[in-house]
Structure 1
Amino acid sequence: MSKEITDITLKKPVLEMLTVANEYCYYFEHLGKKTHTEILEFVSRIGPLLYLKGSLVPDVEVENPEANERFVTPEEWENLFYSLRETFGKYDEFWIIDPQYINENEPLKASLSENLTDIYQDMKDFVLLYQRNTYAARQNAVKEIRKLYATHWGYRITNIMAKVHHLLYEEDTDTLPFMHTLDTF
């Protein structure tokens, strides 16, 4: 006879989201000498998984909103951003139509590096707050990751996936210097 878990912050969808978020963070914290292609392949696989897991996170009523915290510092954000920007080079920027902005019919310039780093920040803050391992911290972590899925990182994933797909599967990618080596920049 199995005992049913009554703590919503310990339910399967939350733990699966936590697992995928942690994997995302770990990858970007250990970029080292990873190539453009390795990063893009990782994003092409984990992006849709993050999006799916985010859509399954339950809504949580927070009893102590003062337990909510953010952890990623501006310096950490900038370090990751500039590392990715250097890696992607001229292929970092692309145009999108973003319904979050006032005029949703005009294209906006977007950045793979900025979007990936924004996603990292939301994932890392979620993982670290959840790891505080108090009920209030877990509630706030789940509430915040669900809210940010709807308003922030969910959009970021959808914004970058077409660009990631294009860079990975463009018919003549062999002619793109981007697909060969970092030394070409």
Structure 2
Amino acid sequence: MSDENITQSKSVLELITVAHEYCLFMEKIEAYSKADILNYFQKIIPLLYLKGSLIPTIEVTDDAYLERFVTQETWEIVFNELRNKLNAEDEYWVLEYADNSEAIKASIADNLTDVYQDLKDFLILYSKNTQTARENAVNECKNYFETHWGIRLVNAAKAIHLLLFKKQD
């Protein structure tokens, strides 16, 4: 399959659909209750992870089109809205196996806002609708999935699962 076809393959188009839904939800997070937010994430996170794992490998012909679009200000707005909704339940403990196996505090809002930033940047770059922009968008999305947002989804999914199914004392 040519790179042009790969950038418009079924797996890429399905990722675009799911990523778009995720980004829209994150941008309107203030409109939802904490219960609705947790239930949504419980369902979308595994789907996003699956779609991320199916991103094809692509050769980029010109990486000059590689751009980031989500500003620090936008990231902070989205992060603060989600953190405020989750309140004390935002933080959880995670083991970083690559380090010294000490548990560290992590944040659901931080992880999921990082995912939002990577996916929103992917969607905006892909929407430039040139072959080079699409190649860069798909390639970077795959790279970020492998090194950044994939593990953040996994960590957040575990924390959300524990919140949804914790035993009431």
TM-score when scaled to structure 1? 0.87
Equivalent residue number for residue 157 of structure 1 = 153
Task: Provide the residue aligned with 2:105 in structure 1.
Answer: 109
Determine if the alignment matches structure 1 residue 88 to structure 2 residue 86: yes
Residue matched to 2:8:
10
More helix by percentage: 2
**Distance in structure 1 (CA, Å) of the matches to 2:29 and 2:154:** 22
- AA at the equivalent of 1:153: W
Whose Rg is larger? Answer: 1
Q: CA deviation at 1:12?
A: 0.3
Equivalences for residues 9-158 of structure 1 within 5 A: 9-99=7-97, 101-103=98-100, 105-158=101-154
State how many pairs are aligned. 168
Following the alignment from structure 1 to structure 2, what is the Cα–Cα distance between the partners of residues 153 and 6? 25
Q: Where does the alignment leave 5 or more consecutive residues of structure 1 unmatched?
A: 176-185
RMSD: 1.5
Q: Distance in 2 between matches of 1:24 and 1:71?
A: 17
CA contact (8 A) 2:82 2:109 kept: yes
Runs of 4 or more above 4 Å deviation: none
Q: Percent identity?
A: 45
TM-score normalised by structure 2 residue count: 0.95
Q: Alpha carbons of 1:5 and 1:155: their partners in 2 closer, same or farther (altered >3 Å)?
A: closer
Provide the rounded CA distance (Å) in 2 between the counterparts of 1:12 and 1:158: 24
**Which of 31-40 and 109-118 deviates more?**
31-40
Amino acid at match of 1:36: K
